[in-house]
Structure 1
Amino acid sequence: MREPIRLGTGIGWRPEIAEAVENLPGVDWVEAVAENLCPGHLPESLLRLRERGVTVVPHGVSLGLGGADRPDEARLTALAERAEALGSPLVTEHIAFVRAGGPLTASPLLEAGHLLPVPRTRDALRVLCENVRAAQAALPVPLAVENIAALVSWPGEEMTEGQFLYDLADRTGVRLLIDVANLHTNHVNRGEDPAEALGELPVEAIAYVHVAGGFERDGVWHDSHAHPVPRPVLDILADLASRVTPPGVLLERDENFPAPAELERELTSIRETLEKAEAPYRAAGRHGQGAETDAHGDTLADPDPDPHGDALTDPDPDPHGDTLADPDPDRDALAEADDALASRQRVALAQAALLSALVAGTPAPEGFDRVRLGVQARALAAKRADVVAKVAPELPEILGDGYRPAFLAYARRHPMTGGYRRDALDFAGHLLLTGLPEGARARRLRAWWLERSGPAPLSERPVARLARATRRTLLRR
């Protein structure tokens, strides 16, 4: 595996703090949410940072590499376009599923609107590895994938998080984006030991590290990215840095943005944590990425690494060291394809059952903690309400204090089946048809919906037919 790119200290770029990020001292690189960028119309702030030599890494949130379906080609193309437009040395995504249902389960496709954990099983690992390889083949630069925070645990898991990540990196050659805040979240919520996870990781595969804040309520840690980084998260960062020199460390902040001086203090705290942890590491003469490397960055233990850093397939040797000839490779290939499809179907059914319980009110799948599922369901609905308010700020303006309770009531009975903009339109249409707003609010909401719903869609999907029917009803009023 090649030596990772040295990134340094960075911060998540967000439009709300764009000016602050440009003026913060010592920022070597930034990360931007890929889905919020348009390659032909990149924000001026990012262009100025690029001109100054600041590296920009696109961070995807919608691929769903841990989902049962193969990665969507259009989403992969979009991620590749953003990497090329920004001249990025790598792109990142998450080890998560974000949608479930569809053809593999013969059920409606549901969107989570958030990152959900994959079960740490052999089936899920097999599916994830196949999806990661497909993404690697489609992207022009290396891919790194991030461990996520979770509120719920899957029953019957077969591996720890560290083992799961180790096998993923070993089988695919993918690099890892280790979020130490997520390790802390999983420690509080699922009782998982961060030190144990770090001890099982292939540290030489780490591309960079995320650091973020959160808060605890009723014994549950919420990975909010809207609060200061707490000491336990910095302690996990120190533990990681005592084992390996991270190629890059990035501060994430997505909400409740503080003054620039506070962001600078948090970055300083991160640097100081790294320096203190790495001092004994350097004094012991251990430099680099844990495994001994040669001048080209390839591990010396691997005599013949793949030039792209992907794991090599080891043919089946006999006891004397000779490769055995496969008597019927076509039959074996068909059996392998059948096994892979069966794994996808099992993962698809499990994920669809969980997501349906979270967003559609169906019974909790066997083995899950029902109380914790309720916490997760409420968190998903709250996040959905927050994002819809961002993509359609006119809705909370029109509805005032009634926006949030109305949306949460809507969300309990109406799972999200498209993106957030579609969700905003569907919510507004639902309110107008059920007659909740009155007077001037109803007139403003009606005008807003009619303006944005546009001409009748060409698609004949049920959602399109419903939109046309809603439009006809409102135009008659």
Structure 2
Amino acid sequence: MAGLGTGIGWRPEIADAVERLPGVDWVEVVAENVCPGHVPASLTRLRERGVTVVPHGVSLGLGGADRPDEARLARLAATATALGAPLVTEHIAFVRAGGPLTASDPLEAGHLLPVPRTREALDVLCENVRVAQEALPVPLALENVAALFSWPGEELSEGRFLAELVERTGVRLLIDVANLHTNRLNRGDDPVKALAELPVEAIAYVHVAGGVERDGVWHDTHAHPVPPRVLDLLSELAARTAPPGVLLERDDDFPPEGELAAELAAIRERVPVTGALPEAGDAREGVVREAAEGARERLGLAQAALLSALVAGTPVPEGFDGARLRLQTLALARKRAGVVAKLAPELPELLGKEYRDVFVAYTRTRPMAGGYRQDALAFARYLLDSGRPGDVRARRRLYRWWAERSGPRPPGRTARLLHAARAALVA
């Protein structure tokens, strides 16, 4: 199958620019942001021009202890079909924990968290990957993630963990060289060693992205220019194989169109020719084994304890670096604040400069149990219960905003009149 070439992450904020950029062979879209029955017009136009569109999932949590959610898999499959995609991609990460498996409250990270590189966790991951592969209409490729911390007691290097995953499941790989760079600075991992251990024939494509260093920690922001050391890792990978595709990721603080074009040109200089897209592999006979009895429960308890420490303020589990987990906690809170601000811009508008500090304080006692839209509503209710904003008019506006969105469906005329009357009583 022909390679993908050079691509860019499609985002609504830069949709027009993406359509105008020269030499864009393909785009990647966040799968959860596309409704299979209502594909954005920009993506339709790109497809009509022969530009390939690949859905990139962020919510399956295949590295988690639970089996993959059937509804999420069905939606990802429908998205792939609607976009005519040659493959779909996801992450080697967990994004939620708790629930029935551990008889504890369900918790959402709102972020891609690393899985322990142990053989037992790999067993669970392999089972989850096989479930996903059977439910999807096209091949699956999985991405290595960036991390601020390491799990204690890890048994495999990142490269060996990925190589055994491919060997046992036949899954393809999406190698993010920016994440390798992040893990070099934050966890002391050797990215060159990881590349040397990879089964390069399994690489479906490569991610390139920017970040920033703060206080000795590298933050994989996707909101800054691609640094030279990430491009150097791209060259290191290209010296070992011709990847089928390379994609520039940008998710925030979008630069002018000319700067995006220059970054794509820099990528093409490092990878002037791309290879063929690999066929979906098969699990090698004799290496497929089921997870040991109790493995899911043990992994679930460990992930729930970690996530609870990160988002609910419970004690740091034994063996973890407490300082690193505190950094991760703050990063998760700031990410929640940023996403909620995008989904509900009225909230930072009403609170002004104090929005981020108030939201971070809110997260210390309010773990995210659902999605970001529920989080926005819960934060609004928290503000009202605590007497914010201080201005009475602003508080009335906030009440109306919350009341109109907290019901199961948009309010009718009678409900709107009732909300307006109640808002007038808010002091």
For Structure 1 versus Structure 2, the TM-score category normalised by the shorter chain is over 0.9
Q: 2:316 aligns to what SS in structure 1?
A: coil
What does residue 252 of structure 2 align with?
Answer: 255
Gap change, CA 1:417 and 1:341, over 3 Å in 2: farther
Per-residue CA deviations over 1:157-213 (Å, capped at 9, x if unaligned) read 000000000000000000000000000000001111111000000000000000000
**Partner in structure 2 of residue 106 of structure 1:** 103
| Runs ≥4 residues deviating over 2 A | 312-316, 473-477
- Alignment equivalent of 1:73, drawn from 70, 73, 78: 70
Q: Residues 425-444 of structure 1 correspond to what in structure 2 (within 5 A)? A: 425-438=377-390, 439-444=392-397
Partner of 2:401: 448
SS in 1 for 2:37: helix
Partner of 1:56: 53
- One of 336, 340, 347 as aligned partner of 1:395: 347
- Look up the match of 1:186: 183
CA contact (8 A) 2:350 2:389 kept: no
SS in 2 for 1:144: strand
Question: Which amino acid in the other structure matches residue 443 of structure 1?
Answer: R
1:292 counterpart residue number: none
1:224, distance to aligned residue in structure 2 (A): 0.4
Does structure 1 residue 343 correspond to structure 2 residue 340? Answer: no
**Match runs of 1:5-84 below 5 Å:** 5-84=2-81
- Write the distance in 1 (CA, Å) between the matches of 2:409 and 2:425: 15
Question: Which amino acid counterpart does residue 342 of structure 2 have in structure 1?
Answer: K
* Contact persistence 1:5–1:207 (CA under 8 A): no
Q: TM-score, normalised by structure 2?
A: 0.93
Paired residue secondary structure (1:414): coil
Instruction: For structure 2, list consecutive stretches of 5 or more residues without a partner in the other structure.
Output: 411-421
Read off the aligned partner of 2:73 and give its amino acid letter.
L
Among residues 324, 330, 350, which one is paired with 1:378 in the alignment?
A: 330
Q: How big is the shift at 1:475?
A: 9.6
The 8 Å contact of residues 167 and 283 in structure 2, kept in 1 or not, is answered as: yes
2:87 aligned to 90, 107, 111, which one?
90
Check the 8 A contact 1:388/1:423 in 2, yes or no. Answer: yes
Structure 2 residue 286 is the aligned partner of structure 1 residue 314 = yes
The DSSP-based 3-state class of the residue aligned with 2:89 is strand
Q: Secondary structure at the match of 1:57?
A: strand
Q: Structure 2 vs 1, CA of residues 207 and 400 (structure 1 numbering), >3 Å: closer, same or farther? A: same
Give the corresponding residue for 2:358.
406
Percent pairwise identity: 71
RMSD: 2.3
Conserved 8 A contact 2:63-2:115: yes
1:39 partner SS: coil
* 1:232 equivalent in alignment to 2:229: yes
Q: 1:90 Cα shift?
A: 0.3
Match of 1:242 in 2: 239
Q: Distance in 2 between matches of 1:352 and 1:54?
A: 41
State the one-letter code of the partner of 1:445.
Answer: L
CA offset digits 1:360-408 (Å, max 9, x no partner)? 0111111111111111110000000000111111111222222211111
* Structure 2 SS opposite 1:196: helix
Quote the offset at 1:340 in angstroms: 3.6
Say yes or no: does 1:199 pair with 2:196: yes
2:355 is paired with a residue whose SS is helix
For each residue in 1:319-364, what CA deviation from the matched residue of structure 2 results, as whole angstroms up to 9, or x when unmatched? Answer: xxxxxxxxxxxxxxxxx87x54411111111111110110001111
Equivalent in the alignment of 1:465: none
Corresponding position of 1:422 = 374
TM-score, normalising length: structure 1: 0.84
- Tell me how far 1:456 sits from its aligned partner: 9.4
CA contact (8 A) 2:202 2:278 kept: no
After superposition, what is the alpha-carbon deviation per residue over 1:79-98, rounded to whole angstroms, capped at 9, x for unaligned? 01110000000000000000
Q: What stretches of structure 1 of length at least 5 have no aligned partner?
A: 279-286, 290-295, 299-307, 317-335, 458-472
1:219 offset after TM fit, Å?
Answer: 1.0
Distance 1:199 1:315, change over 3 A: closer
Hey, what does 1:211 align to over in structure 2? 208
Task: Find the aligned partners of 1:262 and 1:58 in 2 and give their Cα distance.
Answer: 25
Distance 1:130 1:64, change over 3 A: same
Q: What SS does the corresponding residue of 2:238 show, helix, strand or coil?
A: helix
d(CA) in 1 for partners of 2:56, 2:22: 23
The alpha carbon displacement at 1:436 in A equals 2.2
CA distance 1:173–1:429, change in 2 (3 Å): same
Distance 1:412 1:343, change over 3 A: same
Paired with 1:273 and 1:24, the residues of 2 have a C-alpha distance of: 19
User: 1:43, CA displacement in angstroms?
Assistant: 1.0
Distance 1:407 1:186 in 2: 28
Distance 1:46 1:260 in 2: 18
